[in-house]
């Protein structure tokens, strides 16, 4: 998830890139406060009864679903990875 992405860039010595990516990914979901359905539907997760959606920020997908009046972010996924890996990432963050 996001912590792993930032850790990777910091490990390679690129602290500025790590901070820039982290900040952009943190800011991107702000649109969901007023428009929770702004993201596109995530077809790879259509088998789940929840309606998964995603926003794109650079090379990353911010995957989420709506639960009542909350938006639950399930993962930040690097689009360069195998898309099937997205199904295996269960972490959740509620905003």
The answer to whether 90 and 74 are in contact (CB under 8 A) is yes
The b/e string for 32-58 (b: 16+ C-beta within 10 A; e otherwise) is beeebeebeebebbeeeeeebbbbebe
Residue 33: predicted pLDDT = 93
Instruction: Decide if pLDDT at 29 tops 90.
Output: yes
pTM for the complete prediction? 0.78
Instruction: Decide if pLDDT at 50 tops 80.
Output: yes
Residue 13: predicted pLDDT = 81
Residue 9: predicted pLDDT = 78
Which tokens in the block code for residue 45?
Answer: 């997760």
Average pLDDT over residues 26-46: 94
Query: CATH number of the domain at 2-94, please?
Result: 3.30.2310.20
């Amino acid at each position: 998830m996001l912590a792993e992405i930032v850790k990777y860039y910091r490990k390679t010595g690129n602290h500025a890139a790590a901070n820039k990516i982290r900040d952009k990914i943190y800011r991107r979901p702000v649109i969901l406060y007023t428009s929770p359905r702004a993201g596109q539907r995530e077809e790879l997760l259509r088998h789940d009864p929840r309606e998964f959606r995603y926003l794109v920020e650079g090379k990353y997908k911010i995957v989420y679903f709506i639960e009542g009046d909350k938006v639950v972010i399930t993962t930040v996924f690097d689009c360069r990875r195998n898309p099937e890996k997205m199904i295996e990432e269960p972490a959740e963050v509620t905003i």
